[in-house]
Every structure is written in structure tokens, then in C-alpha cells.
Amino acid sequence: MRARVVGTLGLIAMAALCNACGTSAPPSSPALSGTITVFAASSLNAAYTAIGSEFQKSHLGTMVTFTFGGSSMLVSQIQQGAIGDVFASADQPNMQKLINAGLTAESPIVFARNDLEIVVGKGNPKHITSLADLARSGLVVVLCAPAVPCGRYAAQALQKAGVTVTPASQEADVRAVLSKVALGEADAGIVYVTDVKAAGTAVEGVAILPPVNVVAEYPIVILKDSQNRALARAFISYVLTDGRRILARYGFTNP
């Protein structure tokens, strides 16, 4: 264990060194240090918090702080001058907004995928087995608003399935959909697999089959104004290697 950690450390230190020579960034010392701020989509909250603490354990003397929020909200914050080093988005369009604004340092990399799932109350009291069931009359269904990624994906999946659903509410984010179902106010909603997993025993997930399902892609990138690119790069490579196991534990799939 210790050997592996040291080995990883060495690799990343080498990577950091190499990057430092490759770009115009000032040469960094072999050991990583300092602090980075990571802007990450709300759905990454639990997984990234775990990755952050593992990363800090294997890179003593570094600190990773997170700002979690809706991807589009984070993009507006970065555009308004919020200082940070890394951005992890829950979808491609929001990442594209940052690229178009010239605020990224390099091309983003997709590090995880997230499937959609129908969320229902504990024990599935309304016996929902597919998207088609959501169109049943008398069923209270809540979806994300069309403006937010989970709403856009849900609309795509419903369209692919040829189902028309009249939601009782168009929630502002995926957590709100989840809590409406968990509290029993709504009978069903469409959320990410990771959300159902994070919600514990209050709710259950009903899988949406592959031809109809829509997969969310999560890209990550270093921000142009990063003051510690070496550490930012080390964090991203950690997400792409050891981080994948942690992400899988929270329900994400590998790209």
C-alpha cells in the first residue's frame, strides 16, 4: 500500500515537472504543494469530497477545496471572475460555454458518465416499471426544468421512448426532484443513478433500458486563470486513475 502510494506520488510529481517544462508556467518544485479550488457539479458532491480527501492523504501538504453547484451556475460564476483552478461539469454544453469564453487552459477530458433512472418511493408503491408508466393518469411526476441538464436529458429519454408526461412541477435541480419523491409528494421522477444511490433507503431506482436511456458525460478541465496548474493537473490525473474507483462506488460509470 505504502509503496503504491509513494509510486503514485512519484509519477504525479514527474508529470508535474514535465508539464512545468512544457508550458510557460514557472518551474515548480518536485513536491506538489499549495491549494487549488475545484468547481464541480452538484451531482459530484459526495464522490469528489471523497476523492479530495484521498488526494490530500496521498499528497501531504496540498489542499483541495470544492465549490459545488449547478454546472450553469458555476459557469456564470467563473465568467464573472470567480477564481479557481479546475472545473468539472455535469454536461458538455456548459463546458462548451467556458471554452467559447476562452477561460479553459486545454481541452477537457470526459472522466465519468451517469445514467438516468426513474426514482420512485420506497417499495415502488405505484408499480412503475418503465418510462411508459409515467404517463399514467393520477400519477404525480416531477421532472427537472428543461433549462437544466437533468431536465434536458429526461426530455430526450421520454422522446426516445415516445412517452408524453405532464409533470406536476419542473424543479430547479435534480436534488429537488429527489426530495419531492423521498418526501412522498411525488410518485416518480427522472434523476441520475448516482442520486438514487446517494439518497439511501428513502427511495428506489427503476432502470431505464439502454436504447432509451440518455447518458450524461462529465468533462473536467484546468481553468486558464489557475495559479497552481501543477497541482490542478495532478488532481485531474488522480480523478482519471484512482478516482475512477471512488466514482464507481457512487454510481458513476467509466467513459
Where do contacts with other proteins occur on this chain (CB under 8 A)?
70, 72-73, 76, 140, 142, 145, 147-148, 167-172, 176, 179-180, 183-185
Partnered with residue 192 across adjacent β-strands are 116
Q: Which amino acid is at 134?
A: L
CB of 147 to other proteins, least distance (A): 4
Question: Closest CB to other proteins among 106 and 185?
Answer: 185
Q: List all residues 6 or more positions away from 61 whose beta carbon is below 8 Å from its beta carbon.
A: 31, 32, 33
CB of 74 to other proteins, least distance (A): 11
Question: Closest CB to other proteins among 59 and 180?
Answer: 180
Strands 86-88 and 215-222, bridge-based pairing = antiparallel
* Dist. CA 172–CA 144, nearest whole Å: 6
- Residues 232, 104 contacting (CB under 8 angstroms): no
Question: Closest CB to other proteins among 163 and 172?
Answer: 172
CB of 198 to other proteins, least distance (A): 18
Question: Closest CB to other proteins among 15 and 140?
Answer: 140
* Dist. CA 71–CA 78, nearest whole Å: 11
Question: Closest CB to other proteins among 28 and 72?
Answer: 72
CB of 208 to other proteins, least distance (A): 23
* Dist. CA 22–CA 30, nearest whole Å: 15
Question: Closest CB to other proteins among 150 and 221?
Answer: 150
Partnered with residue 253 across adjacent β-strands are 113
Q: List all residues 6 or more positions away from 199 whose beta carbon is below 8 Å from its beta carbon.
A: 119, 178, 182
Question: Closest CB to other proteins among 39 and 238?
Answer: 39
CB of 160 to other proteins, least distance (A): 22
Cell output for 80: 464573472
CB of 88 to other proteins, least distance (A): 18
Nearest to 78 by CA among 62, 57, 94: 94
CB of 151 to other proteins, least distance (A): 10
